[in-house]
């Protein structure tokens, strides 16, 4: 070996010695190997996604799904002419989901994949706005809902629609049908029940809301459609509570959104918007685009998008089928119930939702009962030292300063992991009892779990 003053050890190479470029667009290039190491190492500081019990989103997929994602990396879903089979798989998924949600004619209705429920919700909302206008609606359009995910506040602001959130009365945690009439008028373009609330995981009662709107129509003539935000519940209830009527079995339900990347089991970047019948999607929202020699209908907010999420959704649907989804989702509810029982047994907690598939999604939410020397932000912070990310956050403002905690049980969160979490909760509580925090934390101090609401919109929001 010749003598050399240069080392080929990665960590002695210049960029790694000097630090990664941060502020300005870098001038020089570096070896791919070095750049990879910088980025890879920096990401070590991110939380472990499977221990992130605050997220609703997929954090585990099997190797086949990973392979299909890698094989689809270069497929743009908008190029329907160039990648006709990806387009075909999207159409099959639309029909399958329409069938799952009991559309009257699933083979001929319209729907689309999206980047997530937020885009799908915008599309559902826009369709309702256009239908209202076509029926002669003037004035300022509004929609009525309970405590909603931030995407509906965005829809309201971005598209100039008034949001009418029904305040929670008494010990209610969901929108109640008997409050509807007081909030609806001739400019109400839709009512949006959340099927799987972000705060608590509870289902809003879509059937009761639909009946209340039938009564309102009989009394006043107002015919107000429903859009169901089934972001988290749309791929649960059809398998684990099939008798629960919340979908197109109710004729007033004109559109539904769901996140494929939540309980649909697809990787991140997947959502769906499905209309009851083709005529429920106003033609003005559909663009027929001539593109590289083909003609295609698009009704998305995005243009170019990766195709892998649709490919992988189709894989999951045919891999698991109704039987497989039922087994997977039932297992999640089993873990949620086990966890709820364990949390209740710890003592100072009152369970709000404990994983009953007829009441809500596979999640556990709870509050502190009585006075403690610590609050739920302190507990969340302690759990973080073991790597668990457990959301603590305040309920909507009309519930005062009440704080709750929530765990989402997702594919890949096993009973063993639930037991490890319970052990760590026990340890954290003992430590907080021995060393009470001098001043208890606030949500912001604890790092908060507000990452999909920008501070400009609202600080105090879970997902
Ligand atoms: C997660 C969620 C959304 C937003 O969905 P994304 O897929 O993250 O865009 C909307 N509504 C509800 C009820 C949700 O749980």
* pLDDT, tens digit, 9 for 90 and up, residues 420-448: 999 999 999 999 999 988 777 776 666 55
The backbone torsions φ and ψ at residue 298, rounded to the nearest 5 degrees and listed phi first, read -125, 140
- Containing domain of residue 35, as a range? 10-46
Q: Does residue 114 surpass a pLDDT of 70? A: yes
Do 35 and 91 belong together in one domain? no
Beta carbon of 118 within 6 Å of any ligand 1 atom: yes
Question: Does the structure show a pLDDT above 70 at 186?
Answer: yes
Q: Are residues 164 and 223 in the same domain?
A: yes
The answer to whether residue 166 is domain-embedded is: yes
User: Torsions phi, psi of 64, nearest 5?
Assistant: -65, -40
> Looking at the domain assignment, is residue 296 inside a domain?
yes
Three-class SS of residue 253? strand
Do 88 and 192 sit in the same domain of this protein?
yes
Q: Which of 198, 408, 454 to mutate to test the pocket of ligand 1 (most atoms within 8 A of CB)?
A: 198
| Number of the ligand 1 atom closest to the C-alpha atom of 121 | 10
Chain segment 90-106, per-residue pLDDT in tens? 999 999 999 999 999 99
User: Is the CB of 259 inside a 6 Å radius of any atom of ligand 1?
Assistant: yes
Is 126 a domain residue? yes
Final residue of a structural domain among 316, 340, 372: 316
Which three-class secondary structure state does DSSP give residue 349?
strand
Measured N-to-C along each axis, helices 415-434 and 308-345 cross at an angle, to the nearest 10 degrees, of 50
Do 102 and 188 lie in a common domain?
A: yes
Q: What is the CATH number of the domain that holds 194?
A: 3.40.640.10
Q: Are 170 and 24 part of one and the same domain?
A: no
Domain end residue (candidates: 293, 316, 339)? 316
Q: Are residues 259 and 287 in the same domain?
A: yes
Q: For 291-301, give one letter per residue: b (16+ CB within 10 A) or e.
A: eeeeeeebbbe
What percent of the chain shows pLDDT beyond 90?
A: 81
Question: For the residues 252-281, what does the mean pLDDT come to?
Answer: 97
Give distance in angstroms: CA of 259 to centre of ligand 1: 7
Contact 41, 22 (CB under 8 A): no
Query: Do 136 and 250 share a domain, yes or no?
Result: yes
Pair (35, 150) in one structural domain: no
Judge if 262 and 161 occupy the same domain.
yes
Atom of ligand 1 nearest to the CA of 119: 9
Last residue of a domain, one of 295, 316, 337: 316
Task: Give me the number of domains the chain comprises.
Answer: 2
Half-sphere exposure of 38 (CA within 13 A, CB side): 17
Q: Is the CB of 116 under 6 A from ligand 1?
A: yes
Q: What is the pTM of this model?
A: 0.93
Q: Are residues 21 and 121 in the same domain?
A: no
Write down the mean pLDDT value for the chain. Answer: 92
Distance between Cα 157 and ligand 1 center (Å):
17
User: Is residue 151 located within the same domain as residue 259?
Assistant: yes
195/143 same-domain check? yes
Measured from the CA of 198, which atom of ligand 1 is nearest? 15
Cα separation values, 450 from 144, 198, 277, Å: 24, 12, 36
Distance of CA 435 to the CA centre of its chain: 36
Residue 457 pLDDT greater than 50, yes or no:
no
Give domain status of residue 224, yes or no: yes
Query: 188-192 and 287-291 as β-strands: parallel, antiparallel, unpaired?
Result: unpaired
**Candidate from 231, 232, 301 with most ligand 1 atoms within 8 A of CB, to mutate:** 231
């Amino acid at each position: 070996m010749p003598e050399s003053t240069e080392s080929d050890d990665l960590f002695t190479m210049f960029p790694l010695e000097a630090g990664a470029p941060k502020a300005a667009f870098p001038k020089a290039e570096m070896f791919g190997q070095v750049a990879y190491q910088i980025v890879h190492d920096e990401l070590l500081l991110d939380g472990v996604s499977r221990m992130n019990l605050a997220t609703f989103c997929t954090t585990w997929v099997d190797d086949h799904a990973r392979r299909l994602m890698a094989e689809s990396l270069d497929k743009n879903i908008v190029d329907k002419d160039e990648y006709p089979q990806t387009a075909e798989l999207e159409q099959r998924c639309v029909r399958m989901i329409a069938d799952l949600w009991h559309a009257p004619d699933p083979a001929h209705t319209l729907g689309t994949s999206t980047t997530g429920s937020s885009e799908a919700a915008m599309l559902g909302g826009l369709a309702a706005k256009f239908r209202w206008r076509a029926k002669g609606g003037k004035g300022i359009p509004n929609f009525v809902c309970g405590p909603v995910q931030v995407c509906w506040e965005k829809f309201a602001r971005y598209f100039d629609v008034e949001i009418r959130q029904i305040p929670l009365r008494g010990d209610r945690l969901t929108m109640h049908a008997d409050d509807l009439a007081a909030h609806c008028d001739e400019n109400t373009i839709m009512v949006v029940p959340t099927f799987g609330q972000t705060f608590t995981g509870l289902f809003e009662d879509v059937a009761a809301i639909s009946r209340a709107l039938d009564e309102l129509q009989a009394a006043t003539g107002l015919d107000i459609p429903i859009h169901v935000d089934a972001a988290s519940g749309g791929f649960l209830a059809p398998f684990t509570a099939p008798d629960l009527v919340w979908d197109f079995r109710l004729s007033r339900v004109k559109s539904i959104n769901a996140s494929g990347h939540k309980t649909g089991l697809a990787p991140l970047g997947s959502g769906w918007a499905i209309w009851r019948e083709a005529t429920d999607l106003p033609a003005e929202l559909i663009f027929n685009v001539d593109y590289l020699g083909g003609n295609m209908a698009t009704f998305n907010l995005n243009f170019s998008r990766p195709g892998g999420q649709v490919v992988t959704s189709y894989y999951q649907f045919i891999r698991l089928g109704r039987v497989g989804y039922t087994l997977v989702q039932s297992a999640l509810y089993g873990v949620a119930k086990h966890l709820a029982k364990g949390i209740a047994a710890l003592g100072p907690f009152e369970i709000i939702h404990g994983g009953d598939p007829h009441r809500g999604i596979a999640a556990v939410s709870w509050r502190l009962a009585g006075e403690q020397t610590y609050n739920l932000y302190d507990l969340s912070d302690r759990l973080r030292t073991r790597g668990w990310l457990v959301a603590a956050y305040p309920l909507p403002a009309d519930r005062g300063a009440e704080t709750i905690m929530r765990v989402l049980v997702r594919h890949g969160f096993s009973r063993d992991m639930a037991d490890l979490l319970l052990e760590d909760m026990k340890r954290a509580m003992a430590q907080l009892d021995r060393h009470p925090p001098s001043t208890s934390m606030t949500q912001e101090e604890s790092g908060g779990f507000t990452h999909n609401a920008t501070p400009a919109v609202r600080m105090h929001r879970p997902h």
